[in-house]
A and B are shown apart, each in its own frame.
Chain A
Amino acid sequence: MEKQLSLPRLRPEMTSGVLCAWLKAEGETVRAGEPVYEIETDKVVNQIEATEGGVLKKLLREEGDEVAAGEAVAILETE
């Protein structure tokens, strides 16, 4: 089943963050709990973990993009 990976709202007033790095490539398998990408916010760089496993089918955003909270960054084909 295809699922969108969306940027979580890391704090209530957060509107967006900068996607600074993909830690997994398109086509790569991801396990639940593994970090998939990094988002830079005002204070730190957050490594966002997958909440379920699957194959990273498509990356929708590139490194350096500013992404709105809640916006999809990738499509995961779940197991």
Chain B
Amino acid sequence: MERKPEWLKVRYNQEAVDEVAKLLGELKLNTVCKEANCPNLGECYRKHTATFMILGSECTRNCRFCNVTPGKPLPPDPEEPENVALAAKKLGLRHVVLTCPTRDDLPDGGAAHFAKTVGAIRASCPGVTVETLISDMKMNTSALDVVIAAHPEVLNHNVETVRELQKAVRPQADYQRSLDVLRYCKGKDPTLLTKTGFMVGLGETEEQIGRLLDDVLAVGCDILTIGQYLQPSPEHYPLARYATPEDFARYKEMALAKGFRHVASAPLARSSYKAWEALEGVHDLH
């Protein structure tokens, strides 16, 4: 195993993790923090924040960068929307991020379950903002319409990597389809803030990153996250390099210069990490 650079250090406190894990376990809830083996879990759980992974913990796709278990997922848990709302209330969340494994087995890709969960949070947690980090739902516009109609404050869908590495890194997804999802959602409801993210360290070039930024901006995307790819295990897609904090600062400058409204770019920046700050940052610009 290659030695980790200095900037990839995180704090971990077992008591804080246990406290949040116990609450989530009692409500039969999954988090992407745990399923994706997120390096920020210790910090986020300590601050009582978590990203709920609704619609089960098994994914119908098998992206080579991702730690979520591929498999045959169970039908959606009808109690899950209420349980997420209850957990959000107990944790005192001001911004709830919902994500899911890709559910190609469901005709609507899980859209109705997303909408129910947003509705349950709205009913139990007044004033709390919601971000839905969705799959591409196979670009099924009637499914996307259901999520859009639930009107999350932020609609997030990740392109994950540059166009040139899509086939190798996420073989069952498609760069253009992801761009189409972002474009469609923004076009359908321009008041939605749209957000995407990608990883560096998979072998992309700076020119390819520049083209990705242009592509994403062209579909009206407001918020961008850029983080380091961290290989979950030796079986996953090989790590090409560790980008330095200076590289991330440069990517951020590039993105802001091109016109993004908010950019989180740091080695441990993740799609939902400090998501509330991103929303707040954009609102400041209103």
Contacts and interface: CB of A to CB of B under 8 A. Distances in A.
Interface in B242-286: 268
Interface residues of A, number: 18
B9 A12 contact: no
Contacts of A33: 13
Nearest to A50: B13
Contact of A51 (B8, B13, B231): B13
A45 B8 contact: yes
A10 B9 CA distance: 14
Contacts, number: 55
B42 to A, nearest CB: 7
Interface residues of B, number: 21
Contacts of A42: 1, 37, 230-233
Interface string B193-225: 000000000000000000000000000000000
B227 to A, nearest CB: 11
B contacts with A: majority SS: loop
Interface string A17-60: 01000000000000001010010101111111101000000000
Contact of B37 (A11, A35, A47): A11
Interface string B22-65: 00000000000010010100100000000000000000000000
Interface in B1-30: 1, 3-4, 8-15, 17
Interface of B: 1, 3-4, 8-15, 17, 34, 37, 39, 42, 230-233, 268
Given A42-B231, A42-B233, 6 more contacts: A42-B37, A43-B8, A43-B39, A44-B10, A46-B10, A47-B10
Interface of A: 8, 10-12, 18, 33, 35, 38, 40, 42-49, 51
